[in-house]
Homo-oligomer: A and B are copies of this chain.
Amino acid sequence: MEQPQPGFEPLTPTAFLRRSTHVHAESIAVVDGDRTFTYAQFGARSLALTGVLAAYGVGPGDRVAALCTNSHVMLELHNAVPMRGAVLVPLNFRLAVDELVYIVDHSGARLLVATDELAAVARAVAERTGARLLVAGEAADEYESAMAGAAPATVPVDDERGLLAINYTSGTTGRPKGVMYHHRGAYLQALAMAFHASLSSDSRYLWTLPMFHCNGWCFTWAVTAAGGTHVCLRAVDPALIWRRLRADGITHLSGAPAVLRLIADADGAAGPRLPSPVRVGTGGAPPSPALLKRFEALNMSVQHLYGLTETFGPIVVNDWQSRWDAGSPETVARLKARQGVGNVIATPVRVVDAEGRDVPADARTSGEIAVRGNNVMLGYYRDEAATAAAVPDGWFRTGDLAVRHPDGYIEITDRRKDVIISGGENIASVEVERVLDGHPAVLESAVVGVPDDRWGEVPVAYVSVRPGCAVSPDELVAFVREHIAGFKVPKAFVFGEIPKTSTGKLQKHVLRQRARE
């Protein structure tokens, strides 16, 4: 073996488990239902799992697909697969079998690891792809049996920019693309998340965010880096979330605003204010002033984050300045709704025009968010054309439109393809949605453009009404008119549930389709 360099070690996020296995050996690393594992156990099990992977024929560079709920299994895979030198392919368990088959085939994974709740789907996928299957948690627990006798079979990371994981985008349109994560990026992003969330060995992180989504925004590794406790949630069950919040001293959780609304509207929220503060990270859509207020009342402070699968999750954070606390509730809510600034390890985030030039920081000129740096993907797996299109000049184009405020904080105005152009005027659907969401009867809303002979496009609102409430289109029109320009007021309202991706993003293309029909 080569002589190690004295001042160098490749960065890999599994280094954090290596450290916490020893430093926090006796502390609880993982709570998953009735099972708990100390860091000593978590570390030993992850090492044993490298041996299991080897026994299942997984070698360096091989892809291992994971169809797992938020569980100790998924956390173990997040360490064992990279420690084996292999590549993790986390699967979104809300996808249909056809979609899963596509991803497993495309990634070339030859092993699929599943948790028991997903065993039936996993069997179907394994059968159609020819992948070997390893199921954890069933009566004859293959996973535990294999672990029992396994000796570690680790392979050191020799290239920190080597492939760590392929995270398939949830795909609001078209085929999912495989976003290639590298060890260095996940390591640095995990440190950034630990820093911004002030994680420590006293942290208890509740897994309301799917671990399959951007590797749980890298908190799978960040919580481990801090030596905190992963409190797994196999399903987003509001009653269970509240039991955990009230009984388990939860300090942190993350989730899309839809998940936060679920928490805020659950029966459990009716109890007393939480005794200790909980830090909540949210992304995917700005938290509404109503939601922020509700969470503050529950002793939960919400931080707005922004990122994509391509950026290891939150590359942008609403880095809060204490002096802003002095503002009026409206000002605070407005500042909290901004996406923010590049995180501590991010290369400064840009907002650029069509020619790739920075837009002025005038809070008005909209441009596309463009990023590069250590927490940006290597590219799309086996799709050079898509990579080249997304990264035309070294800067990854996010597809999100934003303005830059004079203080440098950015605020998303819309998805590039979600801008509604009506009578030559741009309508930011986000702006209209934010107003609608402020109405007391509105649970959530989505605004899309539909073709119109006279105006080109007109905005149409899909509205989900809060249980026990009622509201008429006329009332909503009047409400919206109080806040924004008349041309932005939706021309029609459709009441009902709003379709979302598994990660809580509004599926506007579905709504557009419906509106056209």
With contacts A3-B393, A4-B394 taken as known, whether A191 is within 8 angstroms of B344 at the C-beta atoms is yes
Shortest Cβ distance from A155 into chain B, in angstroms?
17
Chain A 1-34 against B: per-residue CB contact (8 Å), 1 yes, 0 no? 0011111110100011011001111110000000
Could you tell me if B198 and A198 are in contact, using CB atoms closer than 8 angstroms?
Answer: yes
Measured between beta carbons, the chain B residues less than 8 angstroms from A18 are 348
Chain A 305-333 against B: per-residue CB contact (8 Å), 1 yes, 0 no? 00000000000000101110000000000
Give me the 5 closest cross-chain CB pairs, A-B, nearest first: A4-B394, A9-B373, A22-B408, A23-B341, A7-B376
- A377 contacts chain B at the CB level, 8 A cutoff: yes
CB-contacts of A354-393 with B (<8 A) = 372-374, 376-379, 391, 393
Measured between beta carbons, the chain B residues less than 8 angstroms from A408 are 22-23, 25
Measured between beta carbons, the chain B residues less than 8 angstroms from A344 are 16, 19, 191, 194, 225-226
- A85 contacts chain B at the CB level, 8 A cutoff: no
Name the residue of chain B whose CB is nearest to the CB of A4: B394
Chain A 130-162 against B: per-residue CB contact (8 Å), 1 yes, 0 no? 000000000000000000000000000000010
Could you tell me if A3 and B201 are in contact, using CB atoms closer than 8 angstroms?
Answer: no
Instruction: List 19 additional contacts besides A25-B407, A198-B198; criterion CB under 8 Å.
Output: A6-B391, A7-B185, A7-B372, A7-B373, A7-B378, A9-B374, A11-B374, A19-B341, A19-B342, A22-B341, A23-B342, A26-B323, A27-B321, A191-B191, A191-B344, A191-B345, A198-B200, A201-B322, A226-B344
**How many residues of A are in contact with the other chain, CB < 8 A?**
57
- A495 contacts chain B at the CB level, 8 A cutoff: no
Measured between beta carbons, the chain B residues less than 8 angstroms from A22 are 341, 348, 408
Measured between beta carbons, the chain B residues less than 8 angstroms from A9 are 347, 372-374
Identify the A interface with B (CB < 8 A). 3-9, 11, 15-16, 18-19, 22-27, 161, 182, 184-185, 191, 194-195, 198, 200-202, 225-227, 319, 321-323, 341-342, 344-348, 372-374, 376-379, 391, 393-396, 407-408
Could you tell me if A8 and B191 are in contact, using CB atoms closer than 8 angstroms?
Answer: no
State A299–B175 Cα separation when bound (angstroms): 58
Q: Which of A3, A4, A6, A184 has the most CB of B within 10 A?
A: A6
State A201–B346 Cα separation when bound (angstroms): 17
State A345–B408 Cα separation when bound (angstroms): 30
Measured between beta carbons, the chain B residues less than 8 angstroms from A394 are 3-6
Shortest Cβ distance from A253 into chain B, in angstroms?
20
Shortest Cβ distance from A36 into chain B, in angstroms?
15
Measured between beta carbons, the chain B residues less than 8 angstroms from A26 are 321, 323, 407
Shortest Cβ distance from A200 into chain B, in angstroms?
7
Name the residue of chain B whose CB is nearest to the CB of A187: B345
State A52–B408 Cα separation when bound (angstroms): 28
Could you tell me if A23 and B201 are in contact, using CB atoms closer than 8 angstroms?
Answer: no
Could you tell me if B6 and A379 are in contact, using CB atoms closer than 8 angstroms?
Answer: yes
Could you tell me if A319 and B23 are in contact, using CB atoms closer than 8 angstroms?
Answer: yes
Shortest Cβ distance from A305 into chain B, in angstroms?
15
State A377–B6 Cα separation when bound (angstroms): 7
Measured between beta carbons, the chain B residues less than 8 angstroms from A7 are 161, 182, 185, 372-374, 376-379
With contacts A27-B321, A393-B3 taken as known, whether A8 is within 8 angstroms of B200 at the C-beta atoms is no
Measured between beta carbons, the chain B residues less than 8 angstroms from A6 are 372, 376-379, 391, 394-396
State A219–B270 Cα separation when bound (angstroms): 45
A–B Cβ pairs within 8 angstroms, 11 of them: A6-B394, A7-B377, A8-B161, A19-B344, A22-B341, A23-B342, A191-B191, A191-B344, A191-B345, A201-B322, A227-B319
Shortest Cβ distance from A206 into chain B, in angstroms?
19
State A391–B379 Cα separation when bound (angstroms): 39
State A27–B407 Cα separation when bound (angstroms): 12
Shortest Cβ distance from A196 into chain B, in angstroms?
9
State A18–B376 Cα separation when bound (angstroms): 19
Could you tell me if B319 and A373 are in contact, using CB atoms closer than 8 angstroms?
Answer: no
State A346–B391 Cα separation when bound (angstroms): 34
Measured between beta carbons, the chain B residues less than 8 angstroms from A376 are 6-7
Name the residue of chain B whose CB is nearest to the CB of A182: B7
Shortest Cβ distance from A323 into chain B, in angstroms?
8
